[in-house]
Structure 1
Amino acid sequence: MDMNISHETSSKEHQTNQDSSNMGQPHESLYLVLSYLPLFELLTMAQVCTSFKETLNNDILPWLNIVVDEKARKSRLSDEILMNITSRAMGRLKTLVLVNCVKITDNGLHNVIANNPSINKLHVPQCSSLTAEGIIQAVTTLNQHTIVLKTLKINGIFNITKEHLQTLHSLLKSDERSSIDVEICPKCDEVRMVYDCPLETCERKRTTGSCRGCKFCVLRCEECRKCVRFDDEESEAACEDTL
Protein backbone atom coordinates (compact mmCIF):
# COMPACT_ATOMS: atom_id res chain seq x y z
CA MET A 1 0.00 0.00 0.00
CA ASP A 2 2.74 2.41 1.02
CA MET A 3 4.72 1.47 -2.09
CA ASN A 4 1.72 2.27 -4.31
CA ILE A 5 1.25 5.65 -2.65
CA SER A 6 4.96 6.40 -2.99
CA HIS A 7 4.96 5.41 -6.66
CA GLU A 8 1.85 7.50 -7.35
CA THR A 9 3.35 10.50 -5.58
CA SER A 10 6.58 10.13 -7.54
CA SER A 11 4.67 9.96 -10.82
CA LYS A 12 2.70 13.10 -10.00
CA GLU A 13 5.87 14.97 -9.09
CA HIS A 14 7.51 13.88 -12.35
CA GLN A 15 4.46 15.00 -14.33
CA THR A 16 4.39 18.32 -12.46
CA ASN A 17 8.06 18.95 -13.20
CA GLN A 18 7.54 18.05 -16.85
CA ASP A 19 4.54 20.37 -17.12
CA SER A 20 6.52 23.17 -15.47
CA SER A 21 9.36 22.62 -17.91
CA ASN A 22 6.98 22.76 -20.87
CA MET A 23 5.31 25.90 -19.53
CA GLY A 24 8.70 27.62 -19.47
CA GLN A 25 9.35 26.98 -23.17
CA PRO A 26 8.06 29.43 -25.83
CA HIS A 27 5.54 28.07 -28.30
CA GLU A 28 7.17 26.66 -31.42
CA SER A 29 5.29 29.08 -33.68
CA LEU A 30 7.11 32.00 -32.08
CA TYR A 31 10.41 30.80 -33.52
CA LEU A 32 8.97 31.09 -37.03
CA VAL A 33 8.42 34.84 -36.75
CA LEU A 34 11.87 35.75 -35.45
CA SER A 35 13.32 36.40 -38.90
CA TYR A 36 10.49 38.87 -39.64
CA LEU A 37 10.95 41.03 -36.54
CA PRO A 38 12.53 44.51 -36.68
CA LEU A 39 15.99 44.88 -35.19
CA PHE A 40 14.95 46.35 -31.85
CA GLU A 41 12.39 43.59 -31.29
CA LEU A 42 15.01 40.97 -32.18
CA LEU A 43 17.41 42.31 -29.58
CA THR A 44 14.59 42.39 -27.04
CA MET A 45 13.54 38.81 -27.80
CA ALA A 46 17.10 37.64 -27.18
CA GLN A 47 16.67 38.79 -23.58
CA VAL A 48 13.30 37.13 -23.01
CA CYS A 49 14.59 33.63 -22.33
CA THR A 50 17.61 31.40 -22.82
CA SER A 51 15.88 29.46 -25.59
CA PHE A 52 15.33 32.56 -27.74
CA LYS A 53 18.85 33.78 -27.02
CA GLU A 54 20.39 30.50 -28.16
CA THR A 55 18.22 30.42 -31.27
CA LEU A 56 19.14 33.97 -32.29
CA ASN A 57 22.82 33.36 -31.57
CA ASN A 58 22.90 30.27 -33.77
CA ASP A 59 20.62 31.34 -36.63
CA ILE A 60 21.87 33.90 -39.16
CA LEU A 61 18.57 34.30 -41.02
CA PRO A 62 17.12 37.02 -38.72
CA TRP A 63 20.32 39.06 -39.11
CA LEU A 64 20.72 39.13 -42.89
CA ASN A 65 18.82 42.43 -43.25
CA ILE A 66 19.72 45.04 -40.65
CA VAL A 67 17.43 48.08 -40.59
CA VAL A 68 17.88 50.89 -38.08
CA ASP A 69 15.15 53.40 -38.93
CA GLU A 70 13.23 56.16 -37.20
CA LYS A 71 11.55 53.65 -34.86
CA ALA A 72 14.78 52.16 -33.54
CA ARG A 73 16.97 53.59 -30.80
CA LYS A 74 19.36 54.95 -33.37
CA SER A 75 20.90 57.53 -31.02
CA ARG A 76 22.63 54.70 -29.14
CA LEU A 77 24.06 53.02 -32.21
CA SER A 78 27.83 53.35 -32.31
CA ASP A 79 30.48 51.75 -34.51
CA GLU A 80 31.14 49.10 -31.88
CA ILE A 81 27.46 48.22 -31.39
CA LEU A 82 26.87 48.10 -35.14
CA MET A 83 29.81 45.74 -35.58
CA ASN A 84 28.48 43.51 -32.82
CA ILE A 85 25.02 43.34 -34.39
CA THR A 86 26.16 42.78 -37.98
CA SER A 87 28.63 40.08 -36.92
CA ARG A 88 25.65 37.84 -36.19
CA ALA A 89 25.12 37.51 -39.95
CA MET A 90 28.41 35.61 -40.10
CA GLY A 91 29.65 37.64 -43.08
CA ARG A 92 26.48 37.13 -45.13
CA LEU A 93 24.71 40.45 -44.49
CA LYS A 94 22.58 41.48 -47.48
CA THR A 95 20.94 44.75 -46.44
CA LEU A 96 22.27 47.56 -44.27
CA VAL A 97 19.88 50.45 -43.63
CA LEU A 98 20.95 53.14 -41.18
CA VAL A 99 18.71 56.21 -40.98
CA ASN A 100 20.08 59.28 -39.19
CA CYS A 101 22.62 57.26 -37.20
CA VAL A 102 24.91 60.18 -36.43
CA LYS A 103 27.48 58.19 -34.43
CA ILE A 104 28.42 55.87 -37.29
CA THR A 105 31.76 56.86 -38.83
CA ASP A 106 33.56 56.01 -42.05
CA ASN A 107 35.76 53.58 -40.13
CA GLY A 108 32.77 51.83 -38.56
CA LEU A 109 31.01 51.49 -41.92
CA HIS A 110 34.17 50.21 -43.61
CA ASN A 111 34.65 47.51 -40.96
CA VAL A 112 31.11 46.25 -41.51
CA ILE A 113 31.49 46.32 -45.31
CA ALA A 114 34.85 44.54 -45.18
CA ASN A 115 33.37 41.73 -43.12
CA ASN A 116 30.18 41.45 -45.17
CA PRO A 117 31.10 41.43 -48.87
CA SER A 118 27.61 40.33 -49.98
CA ILE A 119 25.78 43.57 -49.13
CA ASN A 120 23.66 44.65 -52.12
CA LYS A 121 21.57 47.37 -50.49
CA LEU A 122 23.26 50.21 -48.60
CA HIS A 123 21.10 53.01 -47.21
CA VAL A 124 22.76 55.56 -44.92
CA PRO A 125 20.68 58.78 -45.26
CA GLN A 126 21.31 61.54 -42.72
CA CYS A 127 24.25 59.66 -41.20
CA SER A 128 26.07 62.97 -40.86
CA SER A 129 29.35 61.58 -39.51
CA LEU A 130 29.91 59.73 -42.78
CA THR A 131 31.73 61.43 -45.63
CA ALA A 132 31.53 61.16 -49.40
CA GLU A 133 35.01 59.65 -49.40
CA GLY A 134 33.89 57.02 -46.89
CA ILE A 135 30.92 56.07 -49.06
CA ILE A 136 33.15 55.73 -52.13
CA GLN A 137 35.54 53.54 -50.14
CA ALA A 138 32.64 51.31 -49.03
CA VAL A 139 31.31 50.88 -52.58
CA THR A 140 34.83 50.27 -53.89
CA THR A 141 35.36 47.53 -51.29
CA LEU A 142 32.14 45.83 -52.34
CA ASN A 143 33.16 46.04 -55.99
CA GLN A 144 36.35 44.14 -55.17
CA HIS A 145 34.12 41.22 -54.26
CA THR A 146 32.19 41.56 -57.56
CA ILE A 147 29.14 42.81 -55.66
CA VAL A 148 27.20 45.60 -57.38
CA LEU A 149 24.84 47.54 -55.15
CA LYS A 150 21.23 47.57 -56.26
CA THR A 151 20.43 50.76 -54.35
CA LEU A 152 22.52 53.36 -52.54
CA LYS A 153 20.91 56.08 -50.41
CA ILE A 154 23.15 58.87 -49.18
CA ASN A 155 20.86 61.90 -48.92
CA GLY A 156 21.88 64.08 -45.99
CA ILE A 157 25.59 63.28 -46.11
CA PHE A 158 27.45 66.58 -46.32
CA ASN A 159 29.66 67.93 -49.08
CA ILE A 160 28.89 65.44 -51.83
CA THR A 161 30.13 66.96 -55.08
CA LYS A 162 29.35 66.22 -58.70
CA GLU A 163 32.71 64.48 -58.94
CA HIS A 164 31.79 62.20 -56.02
CA LEU A 165 28.46 61.38 -57.64
CA GLN A 166 30.11 60.63 -60.98
CA THR A 167 32.56 58.26 -59.25
CA LEU A 168 29.72 56.44 -57.50
CA HIS A 169 27.77 56.03 -60.74
CA SER A 170 30.90 54.64 -62.34
CA LEU A 171 31.38 52.15 -59.48
CA LEU A 172 27.73 51.11 -59.64
CA LYS A 173 28.05 50.62 -63.40
CA SER A 174 24.70 52.30 -63.89
CA ASP A 175 23.45 55.68 -65.04
CA GLU A 176 19.95 55.04 -63.74
CA ARG A 177 18.76 57.66 -61.27
CA SER A 178 16.95 54.97 -59.29
CA SER A 179 20.21 53.34 -58.16
CA ILE A 180 21.25 56.42 -56.13
CA ASP A 181 18.78 58.64 -54.29
CA VAL A 182 20.58 61.92 -55.06
CA GLU A 183 21.36 63.65 -58.34
CA ILE A 184 22.34 67.06 -59.64
CA CYS A 185 19.54 69.59 -59.22
CA PRO A 186 18.83 71.26 -62.59
CA LYS A 187 18.23 74.58 -60.84
CA CYS A 188 21.01 75.05 -58.28
CA ASP A 189 23.49 72.52 -59.73
CA GLU A 190 24.00 70.94 -56.29
CA VAL A 191 23.92 67.22 -55.44
CA ARG A 192 20.60 66.69 -53.67
CA MET A 193 17.37 64.72 -53.85
CA VAL A 194 15.45 65.99 -56.88
CA TYR A 195 11.67 65.74 -57.11
CA ASP A 196 9.16 65.78 -59.93
CA CYS A 197 5.63 67.04 -59.42
CA PRO A 198 3.36 63.95 -59.29
CA LEU A 199 0.38 65.84 -60.71
CA GLU A 200 -0.28 65.25 -64.39
CA THR A 201 -2.22 68.51 -64.42
CA CYS A 202 0.69 70.56 -63.09
CA GLU A 203 0.82 73.67 -65.26
CA ARG A 204 4.51 74.34 -64.69
CA LYS A 205 5.51 70.75 -65.50
CA ARG A 206 3.43 70.73 -68.66
CA THR A 207 4.69 74.04 -69.99
CA THR A 208 8.26 74.60 -68.83
CA GLY A 209 9.19 71.68 -66.60
CA SER A 210 10.17 74.27 -64.02
CA CYS A 211 8.74 72.34 -61.07
CA ARG A 212 11.54 69.77 -61.16
CA GLY A 213 14.17 70.50 -58.53
CA CYS A 214 15.41 69.96 -54.98
CA LYS A 215 13.48 71.07 -51.92
CA PHE A 216 15.54 74.25 -51.66
CA CYS A 217 14.62 75.34 -55.17
CA VAL A 218 10.97 74.28 -55.42
CA LEU A 219 8.47 74.56 -52.58
CA ARG A 220 6.58 71.28 -52.16
CA CYS A 221 3.86 69.73 -50.06
CA GLU A 222 5.41 67.38 -47.53
CA GLU A 223 2.59 64.87 -47.92
CA CYS A 224 1.82 64.68 -51.64
CA ARG A 225 5.11 66.14 -53.02
CA LYS A 226 3.34 68.39 -55.50
CA CYS A 227 4.85 71.79 -56.12
CA VAL A 228 3.25 74.76 -54.36
CA ARG A 229 3.31 78.34 -55.60
CA PHE A 230 2.93 81.30 -53.31
CA ASP A 231 0.47 82.87 -55.74
CA ASP A 232 -1.71 79.74 -55.75
CA GLU A 233 -4.06 80.16 -52.80
CA GLU A 234 -5.91 76.92 -53.54
CA SER A 235 -2.71 74.86 -53.46
CA GLU A 236 -1.53 76.53 -50.29
CA ALA A 237 -4.82 75.82 -48.58
CA ALA A 238 -4.78 72.16 -49.62
CA CYS A 239 -1.10 71.66 -48.79
CA GLU A 240 -0.31 73.37 -45.51
CA ASP A 241 2.79 71.24 -44.83
CA THR A 242 5.73 71.99 -47.08
CA LEU A 243 9.21 70.53 -47.35
Structure 2
Amino acid sequence: MTALKNWDGESMEKIKTSVIIPAAGQGTRMNAPINKQYLTLRGKPILSYTLDVFERCSLIDEIILVINKNEFKICRQQVLNPHSYSKIKLVEGGSTRQKSVYEGLKKVSPQTDIVLVHDGARPLIKEDIIVQSIYETIQHKATIVAVPAKNTIKVVEKDGFVEYTPNRDFLFEIQTPQTFTYDLLLDAHEKAIQEDVEGTDDAFLVERMCVPVKIVRGHYNNIKITTPEDLIIAESLIDLFSGEH
Protein backbone atom coordinates (compact mmCIF):
# COMPACT_ATOMS: atom_id res chain seq x y z
CA MET A 1 0.00 0.00 0.00
CA THR A 2 1.00 3.61 -0.51
CA ALA A 3 1.18 6.12 2.32
CA LEU A 4 -0.50 9.26 0.99
CA LYS A 5 0.64 12.54 2.50
CA ASN A 6 -1.25 15.80 2.64
CA TRP A 7 0.23 19.10 1.53
CA ASP A 8 1.80 19.64 4.98
CA GLY A 9 3.67 16.37 4.70
CA GLU A 10 1.73 14.70 7.52
CA SER A 11 1.04 11.03 6.97
CA MET A 12 -2.56 10.14 6.15
CA GLU A 13 -4.09 6.70 6.33
CA LYS A 14 -2.66 4.14 3.95
CA ILE A 15 -4.75 3.59 0.89
CA LYS A 16 -4.70 1.32 -2.12
CA THR A 17 -5.03 3.11 -5.45
CA SER A 18 -5.69 1.57 -8.86
CA VAL A 19 -6.05 3.15 -12.27
CA ILE A 20 -8.17 1.64 -15.02
CA ILE A 21 -7.00 2.57 -18.52
CA PRO A 22 -9.58 1.63 -21.16
CA ALA A 23 -7.73 1.16 -24.45
CA ALA A 24 -10.00 -1.25 -26.31
CA GLY A 25 -11.68 1.24 -28.65
CA GLN A 26 -10.94 1.21 -32.36
CA GLY A 27 -10.78 4.96 -32.89
CA THR A 28 -12.55 4.99 -36.27
CA ARG A 29 -12.13 8.76 -36.66
CA MET A 30 -8.37 8.27 -36.90
CA ASN A 31 -8.73 6.38 -40.22
CA ALA A 32 -5.71 4.24 -39.32
CA PRO A 33 -5.12 0.53 -40.07
CA ILE A 34 -4.44 -0.18 -36.36
CA ASN A 35 -5.92 0.90 -33.05
CA LYS A 36 -4.88 4.51 -32.43
CA GLN A 37 -3.32 3.53 -29.07
CA TYR A 38 -0.47 1.87 -31.01
CA LEU A 39 0.20 4.75 -33.37
CA THR A 40 3.46 6.46 -32.51
CA LEU A 41 4.42 9.92 -31.33
CA ARG A 42 8.08 10.62 -31.96
CA GLY A 43 8.63 6.88 -32.43
CA LYS A 44 6.86 5.77 -29.25
CA PRO A 45 3.32 4.31 -29.01
CA ILE A 46 0.66 6.67 -27.68
CA LEU A 47 -0.28 4.13 -25.03
CA SER A 48 3.30 3.97 -23.74
CA TYR A 49 3.28 7.67 -22.88
CA THR A 50 0.08 7.19 -20.89
CA LEU A 51 1.36 4.15 -19.01
CA ASP A 52 4.70 5.78 -18.22
CA VAL A 53 3.11 8.56 -16.17
CA PHE A 54 1.06 6.20 -14.00
CA GLU A 55 3.92 3.71 -13.68
CA ARG A 56 6.23 6.32 -12.18
CA CYS A 57 3.59 7.91 -9.93
CA SER A 58 4.27 6.59 -6.42
CA LEU A 59 0.61 6.92 -5.40
CA ILE A 60 -0.53 4.42 -8.03
CA ASP A 61 -0.34 0.82 -6.83
CA GLU A 62 -1.66 -0.99 -9.91
CA ILE A 63 -2.59 -0.29 -13.52
CA ILE A 64 -5.51 -2.19 -15.03
CA LEU A 65 -4.97 -1.96 -18.78
CA VAL A 66 -8.14 -2.93 -20.62
CA ILE A 67 -7.59 -3.83 -24.27
CA ASN A 68 -9.30 -5.52 -27.18
CA LYS A 69 -9.18 -9.31 -27.00
CA ASN A 70 -7.48 -9.41 -30.41
CA GLU A 71 -4.70 -7.02 -29.41
CA PHE A 72 -2.92 -8.79 -26.55
CA LYS A 73 -0.05 -9.75 -28.85
CA ILE A 74 0.51 -6.30 -30.34
CA CYS A 75 0.20 -4.71 -26.91
CA ARG A 76 2.87 -6.97 -25.46
CA GLN A 77 5.18 -6.61 -28.46
CA GLN A 78 4.95 -2.86 -28.97
CA VAL A 79 4.13 -1.50 -25.53
CA LEU A 80 4.82 -3.86 -22.64
CA ASN A 81 7.92 -5.81 -23.67
CA PRO A 82 10.09 -2.77 -24.55
CA HIS A 83 9.50 -1.30 -21.08
CA SER A 84 9.96 -2.46 -17.51
CA TYR A 85 6.44 -1.96 -16.26
CA SER A 86 5.77 -3.54 -12.87
CA LYS A 87 2.23 -2.42 -12.08
CA ILE A 88 0.27 -3.55 -15.14
CA LYS A 89 -2.47 -6.15 -15.25
CA LEU A 90 -3.94 -6.88 -18.72
CA VAL A 91 -7.71 -7.29 -18.93
CA GLU A 92 -9.95 -8.08 -21.89
CA GLY A 93 -12.32 -5.22 -22.71
CA GLY A 94 -16.00 -5.13 -23.52
CA SER A 95 -17.96 -3.93 -26.56
CA THR A 96 -18.20 -0.33 -25.25
CA ARG A 97 -15.99 1.91 -23.15
CA GLN A 98 -18.40 1.64 -20.25
CA LYS A 99 -18.34 -2.14 -20.38
CA SER A 100 -14.54 -2.08 -20.58
CA VAL A 101 -14.30 0.05 -17.44
CA TYR A 102 -16.64 -2.36 -15.65
CA GLU A 103 -14.45 -5.30 -16.70
CA GLY A 104 -11.52 -3.41 -15.24
CA LEU A 105 -13.39 -2.73 -12.01
CA LYS A 106 -13.95 -6.44 -11.55
CA LYS A 107 -10.20 -7.11 -11.80
CA VAL A 108 -8.75 -4.50 -9.45
CA SER A 109 -7.14 -5.62 -6.22
CA PRO A 110 -9.69 -6.49 -3.50
CA GLN A 111 -7.94 -4.00 -1.21
CA THR A 112 -8.50 -1.08 -3.58
CA ASP A 113 -9.83 2.11 -1.98
CA ILE A 114 -9.51 4.66 -4.80
CA VAL A 115 -9.98 4.08 -8.54
CA LEU A 116 -8.94 6.41 -11.33
CA VAL A 117 -10.21 5.99 -14.88
CA HIS A 118 -8.02 7.50 -17.56
CA ASP A 119 -8.24 7.39 -21.35
CA GLY A 120 -5.46 5.41 -22.98
CA ALA A 121 -5.37 8.06 -25.72
CA ARG A 122 -4.59 10.93 -23.33
CA PRO A 123 -0.81 10.52 -23.26
CA LEU A 124 0.09 13.96 -21.92
CA ILE A 125 -1.48 13.74 -18.47
CA LYS A 126 0.76 15.23 -15.78
CA GLU A 127 1.63 13.54 -12.52
CA ASP A 128 0.61 16.54 -10.41
CA ILE A 129 -2.95 16.21 -11.69
CA ILE A 130 -3.01 12.52 -10.78
CA VAL A 131 -1.84 13.33 -7.26
CA GLN A 132 -4.34 16.17 -6.90
CA SER A 133 -7.17 13.93 -8.10
CA ILE A 134 -6.38 11.27 -5.50
CA TYR A 135 -6.06 13.83 -2.72
CA GLU A 136 -9.38 15.49 -3.59
CA THR A 137 -11.15 12.15 -3.94
CA ILE A 138 -10.15 11.13 -0.43
CA GLN A 139 -12.04 14.21 0.74
CA HIS A 140 -14.95 14.30 -1.72
CA LYS A 141 -15.39 10.68 -2.99
CA ALA A 142 -15.74 11.75 -6.64
CA THR A 143 -13.60 14.06 -8.80
CA ILE A 144 -13.11 14.78 -12.48
CA VAL A 145 -10.34 16.68 -14.22
CA ALA A 146 -11.59 19.58 -16.32
CA VAL A 147 -10.58 22.91 -17.81
CA PRO A 148 -12.72 26.04 -18.30
CA ALA A 149 -14.33 26.21 -21.72
CA LYS A 150 -12.47 28.62 -24.00
CA ASN A 151 -15.15 28.96 -26.64
CA THR A 152 -18.70 30.23 -26.47
CA ILE A 153 -21.13 27.30 -26.39
CA LYS A 154 -24.57 27.37 -28.00
CA VAL A 155 -27.44 25.02 -27.18
CA VAL A 156 -29.06 24.20 -30.52
CA GLU A 157 -32.53 22.82 -31.26
CA LYS A 158 -33.06 19.85 -33.55
CA ASP A 159 -33.94 22.12 -36.45
CA GLY A 160 -30.54 23.82 -36.25
CA PHE A 161 -31.54 27.09 -34.58
CA VAL A 162 -29.86 28.38 -31.46
CA GLU A 163 -32.02 27.91 -28.38
CA TYR A 164 -29.84 29.78 -25.89
CA THR A 165 -26.27 30.60 -24.90
CA PRO A 166 -25.23 29.30 -21.46
CA ASN A 167 -22.92 31.35 -19.25
CA ARG A 168 -19.38 30.26 -20.15
CA ASP A 169 -18.23 30.89 -16.56
CA PHE A 170 -20.01 27.68 -15.57
CA LEU A 171 -18.89 25.53 -18.50
CA PHE A 172 -15.95 23.13 -18.30
CA GLU A 173 -14.41 20.73 -20.81
CA ILE A 174 -14.15 17.35 -19.12
CA GLN A 175 -10.96 15.28 -19.29
CA THR A 176 -9.59 12.31 -17.44
CA PRO A 177 -8.60 10.98 -14.99
CA GLN A 178 -11.96 10.70 -13.29
CA THR A 179 -11.43 9.43 -9.77
CA PHE A 180 -13.78 7.79 -7.26
CA THR A 181 -13.88 5.64 -4.19
CA TYR A 182 -14.00 2.06 -5.42
CA ASP A 183 -17.35 1.13 -3.86
CA LEU A 184 -19.02 4.24 -5.28
CA LEU A 185 -17.86 3.64 -8.84
CA LEU A 186 -18.73 -0.05 -8.71
CA ASP A 187 -22.22 0.73 -7.41
CA ALA A 188 -22.70 3.34 -10.13
CA HIS A 189 -21.73 0.90 -12.88
CA GLU A 190 -23.89 -1.90 -11.51
CA LYS A 191 -26.87 0.45 -11.20
CA ALA A 192 -26.36 1.49 -14.83
CA ILE A 193 -26.29 -2.18 -15.89
CA GLN A 194 -29.50 -2.91 -14.00
CA GLU A 195 -31.26 0.08 -15.56
CA ASP A 196 -29.72 -0.37 -19.04
CA VAL A 197 -28.12 3.09 -19.02
CA GLU A 198 -25.14 4.00 -21.20
CA GLY A 199 -23.28 7.07 -19.97
CA THR A 200 -20.96 9.43 -21.79
CA ASP A 201 -18.43 9.12 -18.96
CA ASP A 202 -18.04 7.54 -15.54
CA ALA A 203 -18.97 10.75 -13.74
CA PHE A 204 -22.38 10.67 -15.42
CA LEU A 205 -23.07 7.29 -13.82
CA VAL A 206 -22.05 8.64 -10.41
CA GLU A 207 -24.11 11.81 -10.87
CA ARG A 208 -27.19 9.62 -11.41
CA MET A 209 -26.75 8.47 -7.81
CA CYS A 210 -27.05 12.09 -6.61
CA VAL A 211 -23.40 12.14 -5.50
CA PRO A 212 -21.65 15.53 -5.93
CA VAL A 213 -18.61 15.45 -8.22
CA LYS A 214 -15.74 17.85 -7.56
CA ILE A 215 -13.78 19.52 -10.36
CA VAL A 216 -9.98 19.26 -10.36
CA ARG A 217 -8.44 21.91 -12.61
CA GLY A 218 -6.47 20.25 -15.39
CA HIS A 219 -4.16 21.36 -18.19
CA TYR A 220 -5.25 22.27 -21.72
CA ASN A 221 -2.48 20.10 -23.15
CA ASN A 222 -4.09 16.96 -21.68
CA ILE A 223 -5.68 16.30 -25.07
CA LYS A 224 -7.40 13.14 -26.20
CA ILE A 225 -5.98 11.89 -29.48
CA THR A 226 -8.95 11.27 -31.75
CA THR A 227 -8.12 12.55 -35.24
CA PRO A 228 -4.94 12.76 -37.36
CA GLU A 229 -4.67 16.46 -36.51
CA ASP A 230 -4.38 15.55 -32.84
CA LEU A 231 -1.21 13.59 -33.57
CA ILE A 232 0.45 16.73 -34.90
CA ILE A 233 -0.64 18.74 -31.86
CA ALA A 234 0.53 16.03 -29.45
CA GLU A 235 3.96 15.80 -31.07
CA SER A 236 4.35 19.56 -30.83
CA LEU A 237 3.44 19.44 -27.13
CA ILE A 238 5.88 16.59 -26.54
CA ASP A 239 8.64 18.64 -28.15
CA LEU A 240 7.67 21.64 -26.02
CA PHE A 241 7.62 19.68 -22.77
CA SER A 242 10.28 17.12 -23.67
CA GLY A 243 11.80 17.27 -20.20
CA GLU A 244 8.56 16.03 -18.64
CA HIS A 245 7.91 12.92 -20.80
Question: Given the two structures, how large is their TM-score scaled by the length of structure 2?
Answer: 0.23
Structure of greater relative contact order (alpha carbons < 8 Å, 6+ residues apart)? 2
Which structure is higher in strand share? 2
- Between Structure 1 and Structure 2, whose CA radius of gyration is higher? 1
Which structure is higher in helix share? 1
Question: Given the two structures, how large is their TM-score scaled by the length of structure 1?
Answer: 0.23
